[in-house]
Amino acid sequence: LSAQFIKYGANDFLSKSFLPEEFFCRVMQNMRTMDLIDQLNNAATTDYLTGLKNRHYFYEFGKQLIASAERGQITVTVAMLDLDHFKAVNDTYGHDGGDQVLKSVSACLSSMVRSTDMVVRIGGEEFALLLVNMRPDYLATYFEKLRGAIAGLEIIQRNQPIRITASIGVASAKIQPLAAMVEQADQMLYRA
């Protein structure tokens, strides 16, 4: 019977009669295993430096959002954001300075998205945003505020201010597969 339960997905099996201590030990061991699985899932979908979700999560979760949009339930806007001349920051202030900039920009982006939206670090100095049900007439204003907030960040490294700007490409036309929307946003980013 115990082998049958485990074969069908049980994590553990306890036969009567058992000691209370054995019961509690098995429960605690299973809880620790669940915690470790949660930690692994979080590590696989989270950027270690910024704490933002990562590229993998963006594509997995984004596909679900696009599927909802195709059913007409929501509208989705994809934006790609790149920090301008970031290599110069690393060259001048070292990787510690670059890391500080990335953390500051991440915090700024996180503070400016709604709970229904997503901001992820794609890699390097590139970020992506997925915005849900944002009014088309508000997009330009929103992204200009976002760009201005990044330009206004006060980041101090080696007692000197680091000034950073960002370019943003946005895709908000008719719903397409996520990869196509990212490609369109990337093209607009390149133009910016």
How far is 91 from 112, CA to CA, in rounded Å?
29
How far is 118 from 125, CA to CA, in rounded Å?
17
Burial of 113: CB neighbours in 10 Å, binned 0-12, 13-18, 19+: middle
Any catalytic annotation for residue 125? Answer: yes
Residue of 21, 22, 70, 125 with catalytic role: 125
How far is 60 from 1, CA to CA, in rounded Å?
38
- Helical packing angle, 20-45 and 55-70, nearest 10°: 80
Active site residues: 125
